[in-house]
Amino acid sequence: MEQEYIKLIFGLKLKQIRTDKELSLFGLSKLSGLSKSYLNEIEKGKKYPKPDKIAALSEHLDVPYDEMVSLKLDKNLAPIGEILQSKLLKEIPLELFGIQESTMIDIISNAPSKVTAFISTIIEIAKNYSFSKESFYLASVRSFQEANNNYFDHLEQAVISFSKTYQVDLTQPLNSKELEEILIEEYGYTINKSELESHTALDNLRSIFIPKTKTLLLAKHIDDAQKTFIYAKEIAYNYLKISERLYTFSWIKFENFDQVLNNFYASYFAGALIIPRTRLVADLKLLFSKKSFKNRDFERILNNYNASPESIYQRLTNILPKDFNLKSLFFLRFSHKKNSDNYILNKELHLSKQQSPHANETNEHYCRRWVSLKVLKDISKTNNTHEFDIQISNYPNEGKSYLVLSSATADPFISDSYRSVTIGIQINNQYKKRIAFSKSKSIPSAEVGVTCERCTISNCEVRQVEPIVVLSKLKDEKIAHVVNELQEKFSKL
């Protein structure tokens, strides 16, 4: 273990022994002859006493020396020791949320037994459900995005500064050729567009960066929008002076949290460069000023930028909260194999709070009334390059409604596979204030659930399975009601 954690464990043990014997720091100081301030430093894990001082504490506290220096903690503090020994606190990006590691340890060490039991439960859940380090890191980044309404002004300003420095016109659509020239001329890159094609095992990768020779290997079959995004990310790594980074796109694995965070920063920079804030705000203001919604108006926005629908939908999650105060929204990305009835939710973001449509790990059936699944079903039948749809989704169980827009495209890396990206905006006072077509009756409306197993909508024509979770709950409630009646009946005898 790291030396600092050994000090922390010793301090925790000393504090527990002292408090179990109902001694104050002042009392232990008088008993052991060690100063109160020194003992306080030991208990906080800042100092580790020399053997003679440990011997003095052992003698006066009537605890064997070997037990004092053992790294084993009793059952009340065992979860804390497990956390320290697993180095979990080193992996959690506490500084991202303004928390010092020492503060967190102090909170944990002062926690009652129920809190330490809760921590132990979290550890067990992570083990039993194979919650990987990558999953943990990605969840941390999502929380970071949500805490900041997914808007990062320092990256927005960096894009503006870059455009001025390299005379990139943000009022016009970007193309890969312009960014490729910057990578080659300014950052010394070599672009190789043929090597990846000869390695079938790398079919799912779009690019690999070789840092030693500054060689960027590109997949031959990617379109210009994908190429532009890859170039923009490479520029971000260089312009933002990021050294701790990933070298493949899409990623294979993360070595540490900095790589995850920097991957997000580079992606954000790329999105802001290709889809500039000023232009997108102007496009959205025009769209929101219309009294009725027409698909072609939104599709025109998608065509205004050299970017995939996913990049544009992701960019909306930056701009809508910041410039339109529409903060209650969600983003979803589904994947779907042709002729399959399985829909996989592999990316999501929720701002303000956890919105109703969210991922589940219980193999339940997502609501087939969701527009994000409808567009996937449609595109698998039509073979169009892009399928778009819109609806008002009403969640009767929660009394909430969302304006939901969704686009589906073919997956360029997996044959007969499709992806949909979706953004949902909660219909509230801000929505009604900002969007003129909020009063329009032309947008189709539907009652939806989250999964069939938990849905209370009756006579649903697309239901996949019975609402077993709902039925189980109703059964339990009926049993509880009969039990209460019996208790009342026999308590009067």
Q: For 401-411, what is the mean pLDDT?
A: 95
Greater model confidence, 71 or 143? 143
Strand partners, 451: 366
The single-letter code of the amino acid at 12 is: L
Assign residue 241 a region: left if phi > 0, alpha if psi is -120 to 50, beta otherwise? Answer: left
Which pLDDT score is estimated for 86?
61
Alpha-carbon distance of 161 to 169, in angstroms, equals 12
Does residue 129 sit in helix, strand or coil? coil
CA distances from 450 to 370, 396, 423 (A): 9, 11, 16
The pLDDT of residue 82 is above 90: no
Assign residue 149 a region: left if phi > 0, alpha if psi is -120 to 50, beta otherwise? Answer: left
Which pLDDT score is estimated for 29?
92
Predicted TM-score (pTM) of this structure: 0.79
CA distances from 455 to 161, 178, 459, 463 (A): 50, 51, 11, 9
- pLDDT (tens digit per residue) in 301-320: 999 999 999 999 999 999 99
The pLDDT of residue 92 is above 70: no
The pLDDT of residue 76 is above 80: no
Mean pLDDT of the chain: 88
Please, which pLDDT band fits residue 44 given cuts at 50, 70 and 90? confident
Please say whether the dihedral angle defined by the alpha carbons of residues 160, 166, 171 and 172, taken in this order, is positive or negative: negative
Highest mean pLDDT among 54-63, 110-119, 217-226, 234-243: 234-243
The pLDDT of residue 226 is above 60: yes
Alpha-carbon distance of 279 to 172, in angstroms, equals 9
The pLDDT of residue 386 is above 80: yes
Does residue 406 sit in helix, strand or coil? strand
The single-letter code of the amino acid at 473 is: K
Q: For 374-398, what is the mean pLDDT?
A: 91
Which pLDDT score is estimated for 256?
83
Which residues have a Cβ under 8 Å from the Cβ of 306 and sit 6 or more positions away? 173, 174, 175, 176, 224, 225, 228, 274
Alpha-carbon distance of 192 to 404, in angstroms, equals 40
**Pick from 192, 277, 265: which is nearest to 227 by CA?**
192
Which pLDDT score is estimated for 415?
83
Q: For 83-96, what is the mean pLDDT?
A: 64
* Paired tokens of 82: 């497990």
The pLDDT of residue 112 is above 70: no
The single-letter code of the amino acid at 287 is: L
Please, which pLDDT band fits residue 128 given cuts at 50, 70 and 90? low
Which pLDDT score is estimated for 375?
95
Q: For 447-474, what is the mean pLDDT?
A: 90
Q: For 471-482, what is the mean pLDDT?
A: 93
Angle between helix axes 25-32 and 36-43 (nearest 10 degrees) is 120
Alpha-carbon distance of 142 to 97, in angstroms, equals 12
Helix (H) or strand (E) holding 453: none
- pLDDT (tens digit per residue) in 250-300: 888 888 888 999 999 999 999 999 999 999 999 999 999 999 999 999 999
Please, which pLDDT band fits residue 107 given cuts at 50, 70 and 90? low
Greater model confidence, 139 or 40? 40
Q: Taking the mean position of all CA atoms in its chain, how far away is CA 258?
A: 15
Which pLDDT score is estimated for 234?
97
- pLDDT (tens digit per residue) in 319-375: 999 999 999 999 999 999 988 888 999 899 998 776 677 666 567 899 999 999 999
Which residues have a Cβ under 8 Å from the Cβ of 151 and sit 6 or more positions away? 318, 319, 321, 322
The pLDDT of residue 139 is above 60: yes
- pLDDT (tens digit per residue) in 167-211: 999 999 999 999 999 999 999 999 999 999 888 888 788 999 999
- pLDDT (tens digit per residue) in 2-33: 677 788 888 888 888 888 889 999 999 998 99
Please, which pLDDT band fits residue 484 given cuts at 50, 70 and 90? very high
The pLDDT of residue 381 is above 80: yes
